[in-house]
Amino acid sequence: MNLIEARIGDNGFPEVSIAAFQLEKPFDFGRFIADVARHGAKAFATTYSMDEDEAMQQICEGLTEQLRWQDSSIEMINPGSLDS
């Protein structure tokens, strides 16, 4: 398994797998998310001929809105553990 795998399924919802045991702390995951956002801004800017800063602003707004809206549940398919 890769450290992190993410895709948008045919139903439009994210499918995400995270091997948290391969990260030292949640802080490292936050840094990963920031790097993904930067890559996303570059991808949207080049794909849609828009300003990269504007793309990043919109990504941050979407992230902020989703973080505030925490009434949806997340289905754990394979709960993580450090125990064998």
Extract the tokens encoding 67: 């973080």
Q: Which residue has the higher pLDDT, 79 or 63?
A: 63
Residue 67 and residue 75: Cα distance in Å, rounded? 17
Confidence band of 84 (pLDDT split at 50, 70, 90): very low
- What are the pLDDT digits (tens) for 60-77? 999 999 888 876 677 776
Q: What pTM value is reported for the model?
A: 0.74
As a whole number, the mean pLDDT across the chain is 86
Cα distance between residue 68 and residue 63, in whole Å: 9
